[in-house]
């Protein structure tokens, strides 16, 4: 058989790396549930019409069709979902009569995106989303709650060696109101230009504002001055006011940003930072927007982003405004694993390897392993009855910390890391709590 050719953009982790990923996912899920978010899953496919409702995504969607259609069978244009927000909006509309609003959900699933694979970017990857959706209206304080929950997650991940992460925030109303206030009607053009600031620099952005939005020198100066404003508290609002631009929509955006930054500076100091150059490219955002960078790894780009959307979920007669944020689990994992920043203490979840003296005693070994498992201790039986030295070496290669020896005279368990061996009863013995699961730590 020919050696298979790997497919770029479709990561497959080794078992030890998957243990790290599983820990991150479990941390996300448990934290979301602490705040009252219920888990849902949505189907992998949506209609192309649904996927293309908001934003230009034709180049990103993988189309799905049967390889061999039956004669006369109509081909339903389906595509794999490229994020979890669009499917969630459809889910809310379809199930609105069965949901209690505000509806708080979390979702951790693979998504697929047809883009060129590169560092931190994949064609198949896991996203973890939380969203809150209201029926007709949604209080602004949820725009504060959502990023603070992610900040709590990041604090927990610090405990296993994940570098600090900062959530950068802005408000689309602020940007739109400022653009209109300086006299630029092409608001979308301003947002597109500012969104490229980190990639192409202020001079190039200024040229875009002039060429594509018709901005004069003073308008360019003001827009670039706005984009340079940042801070950890509500004082950024005063910095914007000092530019002398006024507009009712700008006032709304500043009020929302002030509320968020005041709460963040009190409840999660340093975790959330206002960055007024952030615009977020997707068309459906209407209020607060979020992006997240990993300290020391800014080249990775945003690993967690989202924002407020008021018009994405609509049944025609009803609108369901929402706010959400999404963490790219696979993007974060690629840096943690690729740079060796975090690792699992062992390759497998197994705590104990039960030895087999000879094949006639395998049933006894299976019984011991079953007793340990019944008490929540991961155990496996040696695959062969070779000399105990070889069985111990097998456990060592697998990263299993304990080896069990059964005997009619009484069982014993050995910690192969220290060499300590003690009498043990499978109905009573328990390893130290730190050995029950593979430890995750900074490398």
Q: Which residue has the tokens 């969203």?
A: 131
Q: How far apart are CA 347 and CA 334, in angstroms?
A: 18
Say if CB 307 and CB 172 are below 8 A apart: yes
Closest CA to 288 of 303, 270, 275, 300: 275
Q: How far is CA 329 from the centre of its chain?
A: 4
Closest CA to 307 of 165, 173, 115: 173
Q: Is 280 annotated as a binding residue?
A: yes
- DSSP state, residue 163: P
Query: Quick one: CA torsion of 328, 332, 333, 337, rounded to 10 degrees?
Result: 160
Closest CA to 422 of 438, 436, 408, 403: 403
Task: Using alpha carbons, list the distances in angstroms from residue 219 to 65, 186, 192, 202, 207.
Answer: 49, 12, 16, 13, 12
Q: Is 113 annotated as a binding residue?
A: yes
Residue 409 corresponds to which tokens in the numbers above? 């005279």
Q: How far apart are CA 426 and CA 247, in angstroms?
A: 73
Q: Is 83 annotated as a binding residue?
A: yes
Say if CB 415 and CB 330 are below 8 A apart: no
Question: Helix, strand or coil for residue 15?
Answer: helix
Residues in the chain: 443
Q: Is 192 annotated as a binding residue?
A: no
The full DSSP string for 277-294 is T---S-TT--SEEEEEEE
Count Cβ atoms below 10 Å from residue 203 Cβ, excluding itself. Answer: 9
Q: Is 284 annotated as a binding residue?
A: yes
Residue 314 corresponds to which tokens in the numbers above? 């609509």
Q: Is 131 annotated as a binding residue?
A: yes
Q: Is 62 annotated as a binding residue?
A: no
| Binding site feature residues for L-histidine | 83-85, 113, 127, 131, 280, 284-285
| Binding site feature residues | 83-85, 113, 127, 131, 280, 284-285
């Amino acid at each position: 058989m020919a050696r298979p050719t790997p497919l770029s953009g479709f990561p497959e982790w080794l078992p030890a790396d998957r243990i790290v990923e599983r820990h991150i996912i479990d941390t996300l899920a448990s934290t979301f549930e602490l705040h009252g978010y219920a888990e849902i899953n949505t189907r992998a496919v949506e209609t192309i019409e649904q996927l293309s409702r908001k934003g230009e995504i034709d180049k990103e969607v993988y189309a799905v069709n049967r390889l061999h259609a039956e004669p006369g069978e109509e081909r339903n244009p389906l595509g794999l979902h490229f994020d979890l927000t669009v499917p969630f909006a459809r889910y809310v509309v379809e199930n609105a009569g069965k949901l209690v609003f505000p509806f708080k959900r979390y979702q951790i699933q693979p998504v697929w995106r047809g883009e060129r694979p590169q560092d931190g970017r994949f064609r198949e990857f896991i996203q973890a989303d939380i969203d809150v959706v209201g029926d007709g209206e949604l209080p602004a304080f949820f725009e504060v709650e959502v990023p603070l929950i992610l900040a709590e997650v990041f604090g927990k991940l610090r405990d296993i060696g994940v570098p600090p992460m900062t959530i950068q925030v802005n408000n689309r109303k602020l940007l739109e109101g400022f653009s209109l206030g300086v006299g630029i009607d092409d608001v979308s053009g301003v947002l597109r230009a500012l969104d490229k600031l980190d990639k192409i620099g202020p001079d190039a952005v200024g040229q875009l504002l002039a060429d594509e939005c018709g901005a004069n020198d003073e308008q360019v100066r003001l827009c670039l001055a706005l984009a340079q404003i940042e801070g950890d508290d509500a004082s950024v609002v005063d910095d914007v006011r000092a530019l002398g631009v006024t507009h009712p929509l700008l006032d709304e955006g500043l009020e929302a940003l002030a509320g968020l930054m005041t709460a963040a500076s009190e409840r999660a100091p340093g975790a959330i930072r206002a960055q007024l150059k952030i615009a977020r490219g997707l068309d459906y955002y209407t209020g607060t927007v979020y992006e997240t960078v990993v300290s020391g790894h800014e080249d990775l780009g945003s690993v967690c982003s989202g924002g407020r959307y008021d018009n994405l979920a609509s049944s025609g007669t009803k609108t369901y405004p929402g706010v959400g944020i999404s963490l790219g689990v696979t993007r974060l994992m690629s840096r943690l694993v690729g740079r060796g920043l975090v690792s699992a203490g062992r390759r497998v979840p197994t705590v104990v390897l039960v030895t087999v003296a000879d094949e006639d005693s395998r049933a006894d070994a299976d019984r011991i392993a079953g007793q340990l498992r019944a008490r929540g201790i991961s155990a496996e039986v040696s695959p062969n009855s070779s000399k105990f030295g070889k069985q111990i070496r097998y456990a060592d290669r697998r990263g299993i910390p304990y080896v069990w020896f059964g005997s009619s005279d009484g069982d014993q368990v050995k910690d192969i890391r220290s060499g300590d061996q003690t009498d043990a009863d499978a109905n009573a013995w328990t390893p130290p709590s730190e050995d029950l699961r593979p430890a995750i730590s900074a490398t």
